[in-house]
Amino acid sequence: MRIIRTIAELREAVKAAKQDRRSVGLVPTMGAFHEGHLSLMREARAHNDLVVVSLFVNPTQFGPNEDLSRYPRDEARDAALAEGEGVDILFAPEPAEIYPDGFATTIHISGITDVLDGASRGAHHFDGVATVVAKLLGIVAPDVAYFGQKDAQQVLVVRRLVRDLNLDVQIVACPIVREPDGLAMSSRNVYLDPAARQQATALNRALEAAAEAVEQGERDGAAIEDAARRILDDAGIVPEYLELRTADDLQPVTRLDGEALLAVAAHVGAARLIDNRLLRVSA
Ligand code: AMP
């Protein structure tokens, strides 16, 4: 596996592969790899000739009071894990390589970024995500890019970016990888002390309770949210948001038919965690 730090060098490597008609898969990440990241790499490895993983803690998607400075970083460990998954190139640029002096462009996607994490974290978050993903897609020009359904709103933002800017790339969303007790894997789980780690299991249990209510025939949006909220209440968690929204454009759901996304964000101990579940009923 090659570790590449400059855009010029990366472009050379990808160009050589493309000249040989080899397909290119990209997995964008911020590092601190866990099984969720590795599942994306495996998917990319299974379907592409050249697999590029980007490792870049993107400063522009963090707010001033968020965890940019303490975000877990361990490039040597990440490189070993990526190599173990058969990744060909780890693209690990310095911030100045991505945002040189005079950088002046921001991509803003309206509508779907006004709610959930866009409302909670502020517009800068998805502006930062959309801008860095657009740059990575421009730099690598992959055939396919892989994202985790863990960040469901991010997947919608990336799909909209690709559609609206006519980018020639296929976006694949991979399922959420969970710990044995159901907690969604996240680089931020390292912030949890043992008590908070236990408390955090309530997020997935809440989503499961909502799914169970739907299975029992509940279709009222507020009642489905309440089924989840009761579990959070019992665990002493006050969610930042807990909302049922349409799966494609994040509109509020008063009555469930078809597919909807139940999304939750909450501060648990020292971590801000998100999780979600798609709820489906046949029409
Ligand atoms: P991050 O490094 O947190 O920006 O995540 C990089 C990619 O991995 C994103 O597409 C995430 O959605 C995805 N990812 C993170 N956690 C998980 C998980 N538990 N299951 C599946 N994908 C994940």
Read out DSSP for 119-144?
Answer: HHH-HHHHHHHHHHHHHHHHHH--SE
Instruction: For the chain, state the CA radius of gyration.
Output: 19
> Could you say which of 174, 209, 238 is where a domain stops?
174
Q: Note the pLDDT tens digit of each residue in 174-199.
A: 999 999 999 999 999 999 999 999 99
Residue 181 lies in a domain: no
User: Are 137 and 53 found together in one domain?
Assistant: yes
CATH number, position 210: 3.30.1300.10
Evaluate whether 93 touches 11 at the Cβ level (below 8 Å): no
- Residue 125 among the catalytic residues: no
Residue 61 lies in a domain: yes
Indicate whether residue 128 lines ligand 1 (CB < 6 A): no
Burial class (CB in 10 A: 0-12, 13-18, 19+), 220: middle
Separation of 106 CA from ligand 1 center, angstroms? 23
Distances (CA, A) of 15 to 23, 26, 90, 111, 141: 11, 14, 16, 36, 9
Indicate whether residue 62 lines ligand 1 (CB < 6 A): no
Where residue 217 falls (left for φ over 0; alpha for ψ -120 to 50; beta otherwise) is: left
Which of these, 246, 272, 248, lies nearest to 257 by C-alpha position? 246
User: Are 52 and 145 found together in one domain?
Assistant: yes
Residue 281 lies in a domain: no
Q: Note the pLDDT tens digit of each residue in 7-42.
A: 999 999 999 999 999 999 999 999 999 999 999 999
User: Are 74 and 155 found together in one domain?
Assistant: yes
Dihedral pair phi/psi, residue 8, rounded to 5°: -60, -45
Residue 270 clears pLDDT 70, i.e. is over it? yes
CATH number, position 101: 3.40.50.620
Burial class (CB in 10 A: 0-12, 13-18, 19+), 104: exposed
Q: Note the pLDDT tens digit of each residue in 37-73.
A: 999 999 999 999 999 999 999 999 999 999 999 999 9
Indicate whether residue 37 lines ligand 1 (CB < 6 A): yes
Q: Which protein residue has the closest C-alpha to ligand 1 atom 14?
A: 148
Q: What is the domain extent for residue 272? A: 187-276
User: Are 52 and 137 found together in one domain?
Assistant: yes
Residue 282 lies in a domain: no
Per the structure, how many domains does the chain have?
Answer: 2
Residue 251 lies in a domain: yes
> Could you say which of 174, 198, 222 is where a domain stops?
174
> Could you say which of 150, 174, 198 is where a domain stops?
174
Residue 79 clears pLDDT 90, i.e. is over it? yes
User: Are 157 and 35 found together in one domain?
Assistant: yes
Residue 282 clears pLDDT 90, i.e. is over it? no
Q: Note the pLDDT tens digit of each residue in 226-235.
A: 999 999 999 9
Indicate whether residue 244 lines ligand 1 (CB < 6 A): no
Q: Mean pLDDT throughout 107-116?
A: 98
Separation of 224 CA from ligand 1 center, angstroms? 26
Q: Which of 54, 71, 137, 147 to mutate to test the pocket of ligand 1 (most atoms within 8 A of CB)?
A: 147
Q: Note the pLDDT tens digit of each residue in 113-168.
A: 999 999 999 999 999 999 999 999 999 999 999 999 999 999 999 999 999 999 99
Q: Quick one: pLDDT at residue 187?
A: 97
Q: Quick one: pLDDT at residue 283?
A: 66
Is the pTM value of this prediction over 0.85?
yes
CA dihedral 251→252→258→261, nearest 10 degrees, is 90
User: Are 200 and 222 found together in one domain?
Assistant: yes
Separation of 147 CA from ligand 1 center, angstroms? 7
Q: Mean pLDDT throughout 83-106?
A: 98
Separation of 171 CA from ligand 1 center, angstroms? 14
- 222 DSSP β-pair partners: none
Q: Note the pLDDT tens digit of each residue in 193-202.
A: 999 999 999 9
DSSP 195-262: HHHHHTHHHHHHHHHHHHHHHTT--BHHHHHHHHHHHHHHTT--EEEEEEEETTT--B-SB--EEEEE
